[in-house]
Amino acid sequence: MTTPDVAPAPPLTFVIFGAAGDLTRRLLIPTLINMTRSGLVGDDLHILGIGIETGGVEMLLERLESFLKTSGDMEDPAREAAWQSLRKRISYISGDFTQNGVYKEISDYLSHAPSANAAFYFAVPPQFFGDIAEKLSENGLMNEATGAFRRIAIEKPFGHDLASAQALNARLLNHTHESQIYRIDHFLGKETVQNIMTTRFANMMIEALWNNNYIDHVQITAAELVDVGTRGKFYDATGALRDMVPNHLFQLLAMVAMEPPNSFDAESVRNEKGKVLKALRTYSREDAARNGVRGAYTAGPISGRDLPAFTQTADVSPDSNTETFVALKLFVDTWRWAGVPFYLRTGKAMKARDTEVVITFRQVPFAQFPRHGTQPELPPNRLIIQVQPDEGLDMEISIKKPGLVLKTAPVSLDFRYADNFDIGKQTGYESLFYELFVGDQTLFQRADGIEAGWAAVQPFLDLWAEGGKPDPYAPGSTGPASADELIERDGRKWHQIDGGSSGKRV
């Protein structure tokens, strides 16, 4: 077992609502195994699963262990040992978590637990978020008067538009304090996302250029190779914009565009990120039509198989107007970013899995280098922050090409996390869980930031709700032609989607 460079989390009971569900076995338990193996949590972490499924703890353990073996998680002896340690501290309560009976059992469990500290994780459909928070409060389970902490962790989506997000926040805050609420966006757990702040604020040569005097535009891409698959019912009611933009992509945007915080405590960082989201320009209907594109994939081959069109997917309406791709052009109306466009795009069934931030710098004011024949103009410098799958940084610059004639050539200076650090088999939730357990909200969203994000996309939601069909695009492509037109009318091009493989960016 490796030794962490931070103290282990304090003793607590981690209460998981939806313990027998997919999220728990696919992400939550593997995360806790990783944390046990690395020493981020000790033997004083206890897990209490809550689920509607009948049966006792053996039923839950059997489901979890079956998945872990099938997924290959137990092939590593150290992970197997961590799981064997963790499984001894798992308990289970079967019951309806909309009724008081379950909460009385939870209260009784915590009253006999080694520690009264508790964190409640809502691994349930979003329509239950408010109900569970209310029941926890009504049954005294959020009371911190004894000195023990009580916290809730909520997965996205936080509402489905501005009004519903405001209503959910109001309901939560009516029963708990903001300091007890940890709104999880798993992108914020990724090393590369957290490294955006370090890259900026620990390197004078980068931060000095981080403004509209030197930056031409910013691109944020979250392309997915996978299609909607078995999630047709959820996706048809949600769409690419709601699923990705107000949360994942806006969190990346906020990291890029925020001002330096006074310190790196949670409230200072969240204050600066909130200012960015509140500064996003709110569009009129006409502006939204001009600066937004939506698409839906058609039938076609991808990854060696024939993919049906989105509208032919199980549990999707044949006449659905829901988008599986979205591209937006946005502005952050601050002095630092005045006039700098932020281009965002995300989609399913695309060319590759590729999440990245591309900072394109302005051209040099005068390129005195001689041009030879068809040699193009100097390409702009770019900083590429690769979030996934090949986490790292690339800096694209121009150098002299070897030879007697003065010719320039673009090259890429590459850094890959996997080449320099042992990042292991991480889920991305390890840092989020640790911060939840120790009470640091830096990596979690606040109510005002959530609502500011929804306010920025609401004009697009309103426009598309009026009707019309998303533009078609072929599976395995980079999206609809209209997305290329969105950026090319400004004299720019999208950065290549390639999954971040080193060597492809020269």
Q: What residues are annotated to the active site?
A: 248
For residue 73, the SS3 value is: helix
Closest CA to 257 of 273, 271, 234: 273
Least Cα distance to 247 among 383, 393, 126 occurs for: 126
149 is in an annotated binding site: no
Three-class secondary structure of residue 174 per DSSP: coil
Sign (positive or negative) of CA dihedral 483, 486, 489, 494: negative
**How far is residue 461's CA from residue 389's CA, in Å, rounded to a whole number?**
30
Consult the annotation and say whether 96 binds a ligand.
yes
On whether 504 is known to bind a ligand per the annotation, the reply is no
DSSP state of 141: T
The total of other beta-carbon atoms located within 10 Å of residue 187's CB is: 24
Strand partners, 409: 399
Q: Does 224 appear as a known binding residue?
A: yes
Beta-strand ranges (E) seen in 52-110 are 90-94
Other beta carbons within 10 Å of 198: 10
Q: At what angle do helices 430-438 and 29-38 cross, to 10 degrees?
A: 70
Residue from 330, 237, 349, 251 nearest 290 by CA: 330
Q: What H or E segment, with its residue span, contains residue 397? A: strand 392-400
Tokens of 203: 């390197």
Q: Is 156 annotated as a binding residue?
A: yes
β-pair type (150-155, 471-473): unpaired
Q: Following DSSP, what letter does each residue of 97-112 receive, concatenated?
A: TTSHHHHHHHHHHHHH
Q: Is 104 annotated as a binding residue?
A: no
Quote the CA–CA distance of 389 and 68 in Å, as a whole number: 22
Q: Tell me if 327 sits within 8 A of 344, measured CB to CB.
A: yes
Contacts of residue 476, defined as CB under 8 A and 6 or more positions apart, other chains included, come to 300, 301, 302, 303, 349, 350, 351
DSSP state, residue 332: B
| Cα of 77 vs its chain's centroid, Å | 30
108 is an annotated ligand-binding site residue: no
The single residue listed with the structure tokens 């944390």 is: 35
Q: Is 190 annotated as a binding residue?
A: yes
Beta bridge partners of 397: 411
- How far apart, in whole angstroms, are the C-alpha atoms of residue 347 and residue 324? 6
Count of residues for the chain? 506
- Name the token pair of 189: 């757990």
Helices (H) and strands (E) in the chain, counts: 17, 17
Identify the helix (H) or strand (E) that includes residue 232: helix 232-244
Going by C-alpha positions, the residue among 89, 76, 75 that lies closest to residue 1 is 76
| Binding residue positions for substrate | 186, 190, 224, 243, 348
| Binding residue positions | 96-97, 156, 186, 190, 224, 243, 348
| Binding residue positions for NADP(+) | 96-97, 156
